[in-house]
């Protein structure tokens, strides 16, 4: 959808009273706990936010599960504060993808979990990234790998992980808490935040855009989505509209880079851009992130090889 059309349809929705703040609409279960880091969403499923990718959790008398692990210090804080844990071991740790801010806490959470699950591509991508970052000695890799889907009945919940990459990386998985009607999207959505696009990690922006437009049809209208990263004012959970807002961002980014490739603008000049027009209110953690995103899109559109 073009920006103009999006604004027009947003205005229509606003007029009809259908566009309220996503968090209010999607997460009526109340705000965060006293620590400010744990937020229950629905039916024993919630989020933990400190540093790095949002941890999703399921906690009930019969089930303890974590989605992603952040960093060692925050993983310890998560394990200590997880509501209703009472020193029990985790049943499962799932990694949505290999990035360090989602897996660096594995050395803390994996030994505390009976099973450690990820898509089949994740360990190799994690190892390759750790070689570049010189962090090989700190890696703990998932031991239970799946190709398409992984499913488990846990207490009174059914959890399904599904490979949806390549998008943000080649090994992206979503984690669906089916009865709670909550889906952890990993880093498929940066909620009003400039994204990381990991070309060496197998990102595919064109497929990512298609996936975001299709994903809402796989779930229900009132499904709550958990995002790896979110703008402070918008949060790390929301509804289907956030997916389309982010798809629009990626599409505009792709169209912009494509239009400059067509007029043979040099790569170095394309990467000199410091923001995307119309997105001044989005969080840009650092300028290198946008330069890398432009480079990733450029390399994808021009067919540059992945190392
Ligand atoms: Zn990521």
CATH, residue 56: 3.60.15.10
The 3-class secondary structure across 10-30, one letter per residue, is: HHHHHHCCCCCCHHHHHCCCC
| Res 223: pLDDT | 98
- Count of helices and strands (H, E) across the chain: 10, 15
137 Cβ partners below 8 Å, 6+ apart? none
Within-domain flag for 216: yes
**What residues are paired with 191 via a beta bridge?**
230
* Residue 254 within any structural domain of the chain: no
177 forms bridges with which residues in the sheet?
A: 159, 182
Distance from the CA of 152 to the center of ligand 1, in angstroms?
Answer: 24
CA of 235 relative to ligand 1 center, distance in Å: 17
- Is residue 261 a part of any domain in this protein? no
Say how many Å lie between the CA of residue 186 and the centre of ligand 1: 7
- Give a yes or no: residue 39 inside a domain: yes
Nearest partner of 182 among 226, 138, 236, judged by Cα: 226
> In the predicted model, what is the mean pLDDT of residues 98-105?
98
Give me the pLDDT at residue 32, please: 85
| Sheet strands (E) in 52-112 | 55-60, 63-67, 90-94
Torsion angle of alpha carbons 20, 21, 24, 27, nearest 10°? Answer: 110
Q: What is the pLDDT of residues 186-229, one digit of tens each?
A: 999 999 999 999 999 999 999 999 999 999 999 999 999 999 99
* pTM check: above 0.75: yes
Establish if 123 belongs to a structural domain. Answer: yes
**For residues 55 and 7, which has the higher predicted lDDT (pLDDT)?**
55
Q: Give the mean model confidence (pLDDT) for residues 89-106.
A: 98
Which of 198, 241, 209 has its CA nearest to residue 222?
241
pLDDT recorded at residue 13: 44
For residue 61, how far is its CA from the centre of ligand 1 (angstroms)?
31
- Tell me how far the alpha carbon of residue 102 lies from the centroid of ligand 1, in angstroms: 7
Q: Residue holding tokens 């009003």?
A: 192
Residue 23 lies in a domain: no
Q: Is residue 13 part of a domain?
A: no
Domain region containing 191: 32-249
Q: What's residue 8's pLDDT? A: 43
Name the pLDDT band for 30 (thresholds 50, 70, 90).
low
pLDDT band at 36 (very low <50, low <70, confident <90, very high): confident
Residue 166 lies in a domain: yes
What is the number of structural domains in the chain?
A: 1
- Going from the Cα of 165 to the center of ligand 1, the distance in angstroms, rounded, reads 12
């Amino acid at each position: 959808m073009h920006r103009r059309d999006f604004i027009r349809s947003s205005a229509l929705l606003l007029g009809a009273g259908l566009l309220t703040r996503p968090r209010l609409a999607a997460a009526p279960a109340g705000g965060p706990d006293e620590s400010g880091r744990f937020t229950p969403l629905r039916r024993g499923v919630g989020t933990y936010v400190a540093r790095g990718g949002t941890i999703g959790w399921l906690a009930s008398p019969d089930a303890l599960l974590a989605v992603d692990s952040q960093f060692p210090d925050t993983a310890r804080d998560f394990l200590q504060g997880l509501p209703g844990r009472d020193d029990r071991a985790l049943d499962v740790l799932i990694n949505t993808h290999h990035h360090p801010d989602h897996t660096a806490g594995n050395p803390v959470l994996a030994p505390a979990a009976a099973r450690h699950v990820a898509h089949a591509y994740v360990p190799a991508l994690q190892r390759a990234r750790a070689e570049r970052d010189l962090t090989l000695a700190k890696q703990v890799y998932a031991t239970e790998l799946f190709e398409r889907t992984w499913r488990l009945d846990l207490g009174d919940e059914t959890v399904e992980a599904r490979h949806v990459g390549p998008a943000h990386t080649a090994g992206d998985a979503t984690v669906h808490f089916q009865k709670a009607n909550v889906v952890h999207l990993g880093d498929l959505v940066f909620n009003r935040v400039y994204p990381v696009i990991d070309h060496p990690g197998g990102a595919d922006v064109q497929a990512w855009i298609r996936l975001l437009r299709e994903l809402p049809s796989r779930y229900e209208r009132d499904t709550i989505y958990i995002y790896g990263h979110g703008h402070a004012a918008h949060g790390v959970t929301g509804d289907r509209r956030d997916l389309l807002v982010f798809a629009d961002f990626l599409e505009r980014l792709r169209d912009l880079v494509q239009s400059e490739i067509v007029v043979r603008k040099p790569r170095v000049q394309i990467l000199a851009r410091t923001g995307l027009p119309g997105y001044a209110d989005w969080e840009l953690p650092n300028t290198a992130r946008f330069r890398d995103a432009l480079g990733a899109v450029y390399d994808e559109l021009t067919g540059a090889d992945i190392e």
